[in-house]
Amino acid sequence: MSWQERIIIDPEILVGKPVIKGTRLSVEFIIDLLAQGWSETDILRNYPRLTQEDIKACLSYASTPLQVEKVYPLNI
Task: Dump pLDDT digits (tens) for 12-71.
Answer: 999 999 999 999 999 999 999 999 999 999 999 999 999 999 999 999 999 988 788 788
Number of domains in the chain: 1
Structural domain range at position 12: 3-68
Give the whole-angstrom CA distance, residue 35 versus residue 63: 14
Residues 6+ apart with CB under 8 A from 62: 27, 31
Tell whether 25 is covered by a domain. Answer: yes
pTM of the model: 0.85
- The residue among 27 and 76 whose pLDDT is bigger is 27
Tell whether 39 is covered by a domain. Answer: yes
Tell whether 74 is covered by a domain. Answer: no
Please say whether the beta carbons of 17 and 27 come within 8 A.
Answer: yes
Q: What is the CATH number of the domain that holds 49?
A: 1.10.10.10
Tell whether 73 is covered by a domain. Answer: no
Under DSSP, is residue 65 helix (H, G, I), strand (E, B) or coil?
helix
